[in-house]
Amino acid sequence: MYSPIRYAGVVAALFLFFVAPVSATQWCVAKNDSGDPILQKALDWACGPQGGVDCKPIQPGSSCYAPDTVKAHASYAMNSYFQKNKQAPGTCDFGGAATVVTDDPSTPGCTYPGP
């Protein structure tokens, strides 16, 4: 039996599925409760030959050097690795020290790589 309400609900669902924008924009950042030693290890790994990310922006005098904290620098490096690997599952873990977020962590003067 035809029901206008059911039909309208199906049309609305199809509209949201096919037309409404879906945000797949994600970044990888250090968890708030991760200590500096584990974050330093993640930073060294991501910026080293294994991770292979460009960490020049977090060097002294560069655009993302400030704030000069292990957490901020590790977040930038972790995210760079995550984006370099096309946000593949498991590339934002770093021993449990990182998490995926949908809010852009960029700051004035420092743009985090995105998808």
How large is the greatest C-alpha to C-alpha distance in the chain, in angstroms? Answer: 70
Residue pLDDT, tens place only, 74-91: 999 999 999 999 999 999
Q: How far apart are CA 6 and CA 11, in angstroms?
A: 9
Nearest alpha-carbon partner for 81 in 104, 100, 59, 60: 100
Q: Which helix (H) or strand (E) holds 100?
A: strand 98-101
**Residues 1-19: tens digit of each pLDDT:** 544 454 444 444 433 344 4
Residue with tokens 């599925």, as numbered in its chain = 17
**pTM of structure:** 0.80
Domain regions of the chain by residue span: 24-115
